[in-house]
Structures are given as C-alpha cells and as structure tokens.
Homo-oligomer: A and B are copies of this chain.
Amino acid sequence: MTISIPRGYRLAGVHAGIKQDPTVEDVAIILSDKPASVAGVYTQNRYCAAPVSWDRRLTPSNDIRAVVINSGNANACTGRRGEENTLEMARCVGHHCSVSTDQVLVMSTGIIGEFLPMDRITTGVAQAVSQLGSDFENLQSVARGMMTTDTKPKMSGRQVETEDSTFRLAGLAKGSGMIAPNMATMLAVVMTDALLEPDTAQRLLVEATERSFNCISVDGHTSTNDTVLLMANGQAASIPITDDKLSQFQQALDEICTDLARSIVGDGEGATHRVTVDVRRCRQREKALQIAKSVANSPLVKTAVTGADPNWGRIVSAAGYAGVVFDPDQLEVSINEIIIFRAGAPVEFDSVALSDSMRQNFDTEIVLDFNEGPAQVCFWTCDLTEGYIKINAEYHT
C-alpha cells in the first residue's frame, strides 16, 4: 500500500526519547506550506488534557500551519504546568518552522499524570523539522510516531477527481484500547489539498466523525485526549470546493475516517476478531445507535465472538436492555449472513458451519433488522479476550 501525500504538506516523525525503545518514533510534525483551514472534534471527557484545550481554542481556523504530535505521554491531569508545556511545544515548532505559536496545534497520547520531558521534546522537534519531507516514508514515520499500544500504523488515502480539479486526502490515526499504565487515546489527522472554508471543514468533519470515530468502541472507555483534525490547505485549487462537489469530498472523507476507525478496533487490545454491529430499519438514527452501542459494548456478546459462538440470546437481550422501545417480534438477527433469530424466537441453522465461519474470519458481522423504519447505523468493536485482561490487569503502577 502506498498513499499520495496531498500537495503542500511536509511531514516527519523521529525518536526523541519519550518512549524507551530507541527504534520507535515519538515526536512527529505535519507542516503545511500555506495556512490551512483546520476543523477539530474532541473528547467529551470532563478531564481533558492540556493539548485538547489548546486545539479546541484555536479551531475552526483558516490559519493553521502545523500539527505537532508526541506519544508516550498524554500531558493529561498535569494542571498549569501541563498547559505551559503544550504552549512550549507550539512555540518550539513555531520557532523552528518560522510560523507563529497560534498556528501550531498539539496532540499528545500516552501515560497520564506525568509531566512531559520538555528537553527531549524540544530536541526532537528540531530534529523532526530537519527531516520534513513529502514521501510515503514520511507519512509512515508520523503514523508510527503516534502509536502507543497499537501494533501497527494506521493510514488511509483517497483521491477525488472532479471536472475541474483533483484533490488528495491522506489520513493517519492511532488507538488500540488502553495504554499501560493508564489509558488510551484516539488521535487522527486528515490532510487534504482541497480548499475549504473553516466552517465547511468543521461541518464535513463532524459529519464524517459521527459515522466513523463515534461509531467504534474497544472497551467503552473514553479518553481524556481524543482528537480528530481535518486540515485543508487549498494547494490543489485556488477556489473553494463548490457545493455540488462537496458530497464527493464528504464521501472520500467518510471513507478515510471509516477506514481509520475500523483499523483502530481491528487493532484493539487483545482482539482476535473485529465485529460489525449493523442495526437496520430502526425508527430513528439515535435509537439505532443506542442499540448498536448496547450490543457492541456487551462483554457477553464480545466473549461469544471470541469463542466463535453464534449466541443469539446474548445479542437480542443486549438489544432488549438498550432502553429503546421496539417490537421484539419484528427483530431479525443474522451473523455472517446466516439468520439465527426471527419473530421472537430462534431459527434453525447450522451452528457448526456458522461457528466455523466465525472462527475462520477476522471480521464478524452481526445484523439486527428491526423492520420499523428508515434508520441504519454501523458500529464497530472487537472481541474481548484473555489478551485484553492480560494487557490491562497485569500492569502495576
């Protein structure tokens, strides 16, 4: 796989020494040659980390030049000193890239409650700036520089061809569940060389996030640092995308965000399966989402998938306690396209064959069809294994 970097972006990730392993990147920079429109979507956690507060204050914007990312330390629950360190990171990047401090966004992920090793970070920033480039290798080094308990970097790209121009989009993300010793974070950046007004970028990003990053869960635990950014620097066109092209752009953005979101749950801590919970024909999208979350977050449903067990009882009862009114006799449930429950009762099916299919495939698809309305939601999660328990119980502070 290779991904084209959108025009006018240079990137680099380096090892600055926040993480112990000297072979892994932990400081990364994305620099746009021209001021970019940037939209942001952030964690709703009451405890939000210093970089989240910083970015939230600056976006949406039409004047962002760079994003600096560090992994290994989340700079969360670090009080005033944490805020000063975030400011210092932005100032340091501004200094080395000749942009102003307020043109630099910051993302951090890793351990919480500890102060950033600022000397290492400032050295790493200088080194990263000296290595900026626009090759796929540069993109990869940034993707690796975001990783914590992730086992692989997460990237996705699309190209949008319209009558009068071509835009490129490239996205990066990290996230896997919880980071020893504390918590995980979901970070993502999507770059494009399309020209977007900040408010348009914000609207497009919120829309895409609703259907992707807000539809995944590894363990239902929302981090203090979750951040998704969309950068649009207009280097492929001099006029903003017209309304009739926006849906094309939205689709490409949706696809990238969905790719990245699915990569995150596919790399969930200890996961041996990725699970799609596809809730169809509900009365309202909100109700469908509530049901999908209830099924996807049930430890019973997740462990059934771990054991390749087509356990309809766990699925329908998880739907049943979602707090949504529906007619239990109308629900039809299938796994991997085999119907297992209909009209309030189990259906005869070849459970051995279905169990084999669940065991052999990394992806398990659970469809709940309520036959009541037009709303549909896809939600993604992973199974719950002894590996997850090992990762999260066997660490000691």
Residues on A facing B (Cβ under 8 Å): 43-47, 76-79, 112-113, 178, 181-183, 219-224, 297-300, 303-304, 306-314, 316-321, 323-326, 328, 341, 344-346, 351, 355, 383-386, 388-390, 392-397
8 example contacts (A-B, Cβ-Cβ < 8 A) are as follows: A46-B324, A77-B313, A77-B316, A178-B300, A221-B299, A299-B392, A300-B392, A311-B397
Give the CA-CA distance A325 to B47 in the complex, in Å.
11
> DSSP majority for the A interface?
loop
Residues of B within 8 A of A389 (CB): 303, 306, 384-386, 388-389
Residues of B within 8 A of A316 (CB): 47, 77
Q: Of all chain B residues, which has the CB nearest A325?
A: B46
Q: Of all chain B residues, which has the CB nearest A179?
A: B313
Q: Of all chain B residues, which has the CB nearest A319?
A: B46
Whether the pair B393, A355 counts as a contact (CB closer than 8 A) is: no
Residues of B within 8 A of A303 (CB): 388-389, 392-393
Whether the pair A318, B394 counts as a contact (CB closer than 8 A) is: no
Give the CA-CA distance A396 to B352 in the complex, in Å.
9
Residues of B within 8 A of A311 (CB): 181-182, 397
Whether the pair B79, A222 counts as a contact (CB closer than 8 A) is: no
Among A182, A300, A326, A390, the one with the most B-chain Cβ atoms within 10 Å of its Cβ is A300
Residues of B within 8 A of A113 (CB): 312-313, 345-346
